[in-house]
Amino acid sequence: MNRLLIIIGFLLAGWSGIVAQTTIEGKVTDGKTGEPILFGTIALYRGGVLITGTETDLDGNFFLSDIQPGTYDMEASYVGYASQRQTGIVINAGKTNRVNFKLSDDAVLLDLGVEIKAYKVPLIEIDNTSQGSTVTAEKIRALPTKQVNAIAATSAGISSRDGGDISVRGSRSNETVYFLDGVRVSGNMIPQSEIEQLQVVIGGIEARYGDVTGGVISLTSKGPSDKVTGSVEIEKSVDGYGYNLFSGNLSGPILRNSKKQSILGYRISGQYRNVADNSPSALGVWRASKDLISKLEQNPTYNIGDSRFASLETLRTSDLGSPMKARPNDENIDLDLTGRLDIKLASNVDVQISGNYNDKVDRFTPRNSGVAGSGSSWALLNWVNNPFEYSNTYRGNFRLTHKIGRQSGGEGGEENASGSLRNFSYTITLGYQNNRTRVEDYRHEDRLFDYGYFGKTERNWATVYGLTTVYRKGMFEVIPEHVGLDIWDIKIKLEIIL
């Protein structure tokens, strides 16, 4: 019985892997006659690195299984024909992507060696049952934003305010699910510069994504390149809003095999961003000066006779001075570190190890607490005490892909032992994430009992006497009587903490 359950479990796991696979299929034909080309060679490249390959069958068809989403180049070649390479092929996750080749035996093209063509996205995807869109790295680079939610919001059906939480077709923001390299994640995502592809699914969501009632945002990270490459980006605002960004990345091979193909590659990147105002205003913001706030703290009230009034009532708009361009004490500082290793243990075994670390410090102005005007009054008079939000996220992913049977035109190490199998593979994916967030006042930090303490009150008490009338021995008398204590002097040391 136990053996039967184990077998059923493996079958279910294998079936779920097959259903969730991202595959490429197509056909290679003669450009003039349309006849299929038998046993043609197909090679798949990513960032100049050979990922895998195969051969066409007796009908000129080919099939590549278990491909990671992203942007690839594919090359088809055969003796007597000019090789053809299609560039910028967008491979969508969980779909069968079709790429066809028409080779030419033209003498001019044969002299050139390789004919290069740009991939054209088909107008109609025959097997597409979901709704959404895909944003490639080239499109992301051209967008005037660096936030994942803002990039996703460029797709129809998604709304986001200033790059904040997104809503998919009116659903709650917490109903949107994020995936990174096939692993479900939460918290801060990888930097915009490390995204190879961003896929948005807003309808017809497949079962492989699990319990999703809103939408899915699936990210694919960039991998190593065939040659050592790197880039540095520096941004600094000169308009007074204090936007500063520094990022850089380095990618390349570590080891190559006898065929000069990369078998161990790396990619590392880092980004530091410091923003003085998270939500700048075009008209400026009004804030009381530190001197004025200190004056109000020392003398919060004034007396007219026996009545006490708030000193704030005596202020005029002119006392606030000029509006500030950027909100004070509203800065956002974050640091991102990302790394990835791609290891080719054999021609049919690939390993991917990736990690990401994010540390963020966000000082913010509290919104309304439920009391009318509480948000605006805090921003005007208590901005010097803006709280901090600290968040720290680190995660690691491990992915192993093992292809069994005929996969790459006789290069598969197990082809002879498993000759009856073709394009069979399985993938093991492991992910770990730790996310910590805390919000605190910079004066009290984690001392919980300091929060809500309004101050120390010192009182002096005096005996109070009054006159009362009593009936005694047939007559009324007026006598003094102790009626209690009264506060004749009060000193309040205000330490108001909201």
Banded model confidence at residue 251, pLDDT cuts 50, 70, 90? very high
Whether residue 340 is predicted with pLDDT greater than 90 in this model: the reply is yes
Identify the architecture of domain 129-222 in CATH: Beta Complex (2.170)
Calculate the average pLDDT of the chain. 80
What are the DSSP calls for 422-477, one per residue?
BSEEEEEEEEEEEEEEEEE-TTTTT-GGGTT--EEEEEEEEEEEEEEEEEETTEEE
Spatial contact of 234 and 213, defined as CB atoms under 8 Å apart: no
Torsion on CA atoms 14, 20, 22, 25, rounded to nearest 10 = 70
pLDDT of residue 7: 44
Spatial contact of 45 and 53, defined as CB atoms under 8 Å apart: no
pLDDT of residue 8: 45
Banded model confidence at residue 421, pLDDT cuts 50, 70, 90? low
Whether residue 414 is predicted with pLDDT greater than 70 in this model: the reply is no
With b for 16 or more beta-carbon neighbours within 10 A and e for fewer, the 471-496 pattern comes to eeeeeeeeeeeeeeeeeeeeeeeeee
Give the closest residue to 425 by CA, choosing from 354, 349, 353.
349
Mean pLDDT of 148-174: 80
Do β-strands 23-30 and 96-98 pair in parallel, antiparallel, or remain unpaired?
parallel
Under CATH, which number does the domain 2-118 receive? 2.60.40.1120
Whether residue 412 is predicted with pLDDT greater than 50 in this model: the reply is no
pLDDT of residue 246: 94
Whether residue 463 is predicted with pLDDT greater than 50 in this model: the reply is yes
Length of the chain: 498
Give the closest residue to 352 by CA, choosing from 181, 478, 185.
181
Banded model confidence at residue 18, pLDDT cuts 50, 70, 90? very low
Mean pLDDT of 12-38: 73
pLDDT of residue 399: 92
Confidence (pTM): 0.73
Q: Looking at per-residue confidence, does 239 or 191 come out higher? A: 191
Report the distance separating Cα 147 and Cα 142, nearest Å: 13
Q: Calculate ∠ Cα 117-120-126, nearest 5°.
A: 140
pLDDT of residue 498: 40
Residue 420 CB coordination number (10 Å): 7
What residues have CB less than 8 Å from 93, skipping those under 6 apart? 22, 69, 182, 199, 218, 220
Q: Where are the domains of the chain?
A: 2-118, 129-222, 226-287+324-448, 290-323, 455-494
Mean pLDDT of 444-457: 79
Banded model confidence at residue 406, pLDDT cuts 50, 70, 90? low
pLDDT of residue 13: 43
Mean pLDDT of 303-307: 82
Q: Looking at per-residue confidence, does 419 or 8 come out higher? A: 419
